[in-house]
């Protein structure tokens, strides 16, 4: 239990007596001074009188709209952190609450671990993890030896400053493969935290790391303790290119596909702004050539270089033909202009098979380049080699799954996510990561 001198006041607002009582008991045991009420009409008066450091606010209550009350609180007391709670929440409710100033959003039934973790973050009390093993321990993970490799520093690597976002931002859309409405809530994290994906309840996180890759069929997914987040590669490509090393990403099931590219994710990151942190960690520097695949078919390699670059060659029958592009990362601007706008693509002949597999349920004419046997049927290409550029986008995203930017030259021929992950595993083994 905390010392009384360090007590901070928390106000719990919920019309369910059992919820208030259990939350109050848990937080009181942790040493907090806890006030509670079922009467939402008196909340503003209580905030004025008691000056709580945090308000836990139910979103659905009789006689008052929780979102409306949130707006009033943030208007009159903008420095008061508010965490919204709901038993009927989804990612869109969470996105709406965050847009109006909520610090975070958690679901009922409230997970005690998730509640304490969120409260500590809101009050600025969360200890800075020194490795992902601590994150695994916090969420009850058993594979901490595996997790701890994620932030290990390589002595031969280059030192770089860690980065997070200046403020929280949100985005919403639809999942390409699931078809469900989804969204993202991005929160800054302290140094050495890494990139973490988390569900709305906040009780389990999955690190953006190679050890947690769940599947690579048509997209890259991450899984941990029953929580899965799909189609992470476009978003991770943006984080890789902008050098963001610490971020909490709250998501429901699948990262939104948006227009099939990463352009809107770039805008989202720039809206939040980058915050360079005092601590450093290391860039992964490729020490020798690594290669996966056969010369006559699919293959991908990486070799030492002074910069990070990707050379991709794509060969399909007409109407696609041969597409080739070489991208050298010079800055986030070069990525935003050359690679981020390139959209995902698919062939009409494959759509029926993918739909039978339960995939591409969210595919629309506006978020995917569709190709039949004669032509591209639904759009004009943004670049002559847009399909090859999109493959580069996927590679840049998948190659952030060691948790740190990479320096080396990648060359790929007709490869996909499975090949990217196989090469990444070879690099990890070779460098002893």
The catalytic residues are 417
CA-nearest of 356, 249, 240 to 308 is 240
H/E element holding 105?
A: strand 104-107
Contact 211, 194 (CB under 8 A): no
* Under 8 Å between Cβ of 429 and 398: no
User: From CA 154, how far away is CA 157, in angstroms rounded?
Assistant: 5
On whether the CB atoms of residues 102 and 121 are closer than 8 A, the answer is no
Strands 321-328 and 308-316, sheet pairing: antiparallel
Residues in the chain: 433
Hey, which residues does 350 pair with through a beta bridge? none
**CA 177 to chain CA centroid, nearest Å:** 17
User: Which residues pair with residue 284 across a beta bridge?
Assistant: 406
Going along 230-289, which residue ranges are E strands?
Answer: 247-251, 274-285
Q: Which of 241, 246, 221, 245 is nearest to 231 (CA)?
A: 221
For residues 111 and 204, what is the distance between their CA atoms, to the nearest angstrom?
Answer: 10
**Residue 304 CB neighbours (<10 A):** 12
What is the Cα gyration radius of the chain? 23
Collapsing DSSP to helix, strand or coil, 115 comes out as helix
- Residue 184: which of 208, 150, 149 has the closest Cα? 208
In the chain, what is the straight-line distance between the N-terminal and C-terminal CA atoms, in Å?
38
Phi-psi region of 63 (alpha: psi -120 to 50; beta: other; left: phi over 0): left
Cα separation of 141 and 286, whole Å? 30
CA separation for the pair 68, 13 (Å, rounded): 14
Please tell me the distance from the alpha carbon of residue 34 to that of residue 41, in angstroms, as a whole number: 18
Residue (of 80, 2, 92) closest to 43 by Cα position: 80
SS3 of residue 87 by DSSP: coil
């Amino acid at each position: 239990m905390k010392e009384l001198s360090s007590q901070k006041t928390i106000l719990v607002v919920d019309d369910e007596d059992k919820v208030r009582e259990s939350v109050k008991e848990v937080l009181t045991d942790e040493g907090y001074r806890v006030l509670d009420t079922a009467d939402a009409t008196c909340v503003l008066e209580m905030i004025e009188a008691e000056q709580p450091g945090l308000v836990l606010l139910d979103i659905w209550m009789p006689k008052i709209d929780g979102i409306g009350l949130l707006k009033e609180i943030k208007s009159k007391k903008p420095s008061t952190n508010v965490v919204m709670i709901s038993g009927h929440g989804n990612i869109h409710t969470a996105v709406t609450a965050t847009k109006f100033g909520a610090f975070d959003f958690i679901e009922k039934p409230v997970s005690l671990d998730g509640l304490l973790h969120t409260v500590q973050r809101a009050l600025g009390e969360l200890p800075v993890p020194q490795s992902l093993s601590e994150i695994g321990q916090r969420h009850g993970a058993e594979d901490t030896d595996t997790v701890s490799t994620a932030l290990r520093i390589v002595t031969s690597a280059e030192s770089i400053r860690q980065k997070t976002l200046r403020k929280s931002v949100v985005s919403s859309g639809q999942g390409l493969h699931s078809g469900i409405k989804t969204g993202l809530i991005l929160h800054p994290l302290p140094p050495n935290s890494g990139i973490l994906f988390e569900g709305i309840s906040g009780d389990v996180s999955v690190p953006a790391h190679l050890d947690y890759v769940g599947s690579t069929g048509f997209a890259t997914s991450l899984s941990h303790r029953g929580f899965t987040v799909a189609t992470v590669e476009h978003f991770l490509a943006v984080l890789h290119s902008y050098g963001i090393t610490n971020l909490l990403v709250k998501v429901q099931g699948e990262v939104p596909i948006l227009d099939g590219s990463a352009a809107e994710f770039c805008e989202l990151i720039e809206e939040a702004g980058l915050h360079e942190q005092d601590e450093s960690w290391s860039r992964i520097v490729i020490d020798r050539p690594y290669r996966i695949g056969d010369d006559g078919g699919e293959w991908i390699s990486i070799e030492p270089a002074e910069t990070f670059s990707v050379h991709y060659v794509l060969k399909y029958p007409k109407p696609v033909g041969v597409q080739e592009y070489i991208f050298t990362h010079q800055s986030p601007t070069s990525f935003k202009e050359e690679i981020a706008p390139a959209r995902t693509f698919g062939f009409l002949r494959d759509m029926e098979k993918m739909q039978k597999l339960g995939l591409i349920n969210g595919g629309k004419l506006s978020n995917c380049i569709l190709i039949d046997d004669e032509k591209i049927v639904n759009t004009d290409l943004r670049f002559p080699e847009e399909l090859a550029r999109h493959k580069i986008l996927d590679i840049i995203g998948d190659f952030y799954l060691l948790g740190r930017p990479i320096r080396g030259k990648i060359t790929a021929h007709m490869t996909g996510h499975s090949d990217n992950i196989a090469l990444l595993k070879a690099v990890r083994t070779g460098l002893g990561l």
